[in-house]
């Protein structure tokens, strides 16, 4: 049987999504004035990737097998291309 999240946790999760997602467009607006667009996009994808990597390593997640690298890279490129045009 699964437990339901508390109202405070749910509200906090929505607030985090709102702030993180909303601040992305503000950061892009100011970032493109000083940083080339492709470099800025690289920073936007690399920073969360490093955060996820640190989280996975702290939770003892297994490192992916080398045979998964190509598939993962292709999926990542497709997602980046689809999300940013």
DSSP per-residue string spanning 14-59: HHHHHHHHHHHHHHHHHHTTTS-HHHHHHHHHHHHHHHHHHHHHHT
Whether the predicted pLDDT of 80 surpasses 90: no
| CA–CA separation, 83 and 24 (whole Å) | 13
Range of the domain at 3: 1-34
3-state secondary structure of 69: helix
pTM assigned to the model: 0.59
Model pLDDT for residues 4-23, shown as the tens digit of each residue: 879 999 999 999 999 988 88
Query: Do 30 and 46 reside in the same domain of the chain?
Result: no
Query: Do 84 and 54 reside in the same domain of the chain?
Result: yes
Query: Do 18 and 50 reside in the same domain of the chain?
Result: no
Whether the predicted pLDDT of 1 surpasses 80: no
In this structure, how many other beta carbons lie within 10 angstroms of the beta carbon of residue 71? 10
Model pLDDT for residues 14-68, shown as the tens digit of each residue: 999 999 888 888 888 888 899 998 898 888 888 988 999 999 999 998 888 999 9
Q: What is the pLDDT of residue 42?
A: 86
């Amino acid at each position: 049987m699964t437990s339901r999240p508390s109202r405070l946790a749910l509200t906090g999760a929505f607030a985090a999504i709102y702030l993180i997602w909303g601040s992305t467009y503000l950061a892009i607006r100011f970032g493109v004035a000083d940083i080339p667009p492709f470099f800025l996009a690289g920073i936007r994808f690399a920073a969360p990737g490093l955060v996820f990597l640190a989280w996975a390593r702290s939770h003892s997640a297994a490192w992916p097998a080398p045979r998964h690298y190509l598939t993962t890279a292709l999926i990542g490129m497709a997602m980046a291309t689809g999300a940013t045009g």
